[in-house]
Amino acid sequence: MRLLLVALLLLAMPALAQVDARVAFLTKQLEKGKDPRARSQAALGLGVTEEPEALQPLCTGLEDVSELVRASAAKGLATLREVSAIDCLKKHKETDAATLVAIREAIKALEDFKARPPHLYVDFEGVKDKTGSLPAELVKITEERLKRKLILTGALLAPPKEPKKAAQGVLKKYGISGYRLSAQIQNTESGGLRIALVCLSYPGLALLGQVEVQATGAAPADLLKALVPKAIQEVAQTFEWST
């Protein structure tokens, strides 16, 4: 059994509060900007935010009056790598030839991303709020962000209550390792928040260790948004996940 503990302290930084503001600003630019070039840049900018909230404004951007903006919205969706965007791309009816090419390329990119061989198999048990004070919606958003980061890391997520033999079959099929992760959001002594991730082998369930990341100095939503990518990064490095 290997027990590891990694603690990462993120100091309060103005950037913590800028993530949501950036998506909101780019969304407003995409929806209300008078110059098509500005709307186009906003669509491309939303694509690189890695924020799930960028999905809807980009799908809406496919209906822009400008073919330049519509093409940029398609490119932004491809960059965002939210596979659910395939639906809005396929439903969109396009008449401009160049924009249609961009849409088809975006669909192919997302379908290729969806079909790529996984690097690891993860049974993610979800997030528990141990602070007792966070809104349920914020806990759910944090859970979805952790899942998204796992997928971007190359993980295939196991279905709930999967039989052991089924999990072993997946591992054998892809020749990969399996892990079970459970997450908790905890208060810190300094008044901040901590995400603690316990990692076990899967489906064997041998304890491998725990990783913690923590931050202080901002609103809970901003702290958790900043901590999610750090938590997955630390897990991947600590347990030597091959990506």
Q: Mapping DSSP to helix (H, G, I), strand (E, B) and coil, where does residue 201 land? A: strand
Rg (CA), the chain: 20
Model pTM score:
0.78
Q: What is the residue-averaged pLDDT of the chain?
A: 90
Sequence-separated (6 or more) residues with CB below 8 Å from residue 21: none
Q: What is the pLDDT of residue 230?
A: 94
Per-residue DSSP letter, 158? P
User: pLDDT grade, residue 17 (50/70/90)?
Assistant: very low
- Half-sphere exposure (Cβ direction) of 197: Cα atoms closer than 13 Å: 31
DSSP string covering 110-124: HHHHHHSPPSEEEEE
Q: What is the mean pLDDT of residues 97-122?
A: 95
Of 12 and 22, the one with more pLDDT: 22
Q: Tens digit of pLDDT for each residue in 49-58?
A: 888 889 999 9
User: pLDDT grade, residue 12 (50/70/90)?
Assistant: very low
Residue appearing with tokens 């919606």: 137
Sequence-separated (6 or more) residues with CB below 8 Å from residue 95: none
Q: Tens digit of pLDDT for each residue in 125-181?
A: 999 999 999 999 899 889 988 998 999 899 999 999 999 999 999 999 999 999 999
Return d(Cα 69, Cα 38) in angstroms, integer.
9
Q: What is the pLDDT of residue 21?
A: 77
Return d(Cα 201, Cα 170) in angstroms, integer.
14
Strand 120-129 relative to strand 177-187, pairing: parallel
Q: What is the mean pLDDT of residues 82-94?
A: 95
Q: Tens digit of pLDDT for each residue in 177-218?
A: 999 999 999 999 999 999 999 999 999 999 999 999 999 999
CA angle 155, 161, 163 (to 5 degrees): 90
Of 67 and 8, the one with more pLDDT: 67
Tokens, residue 53: 């909230």
Bridge partners of 209, per DSSP, are 199
Torsional sign, CA 9, 10, 12, 16: negative
Q: Is the pLDDT of residue 61 over 50?
A: yes
Q: What is the pLDDT of residue 186?
A: 97
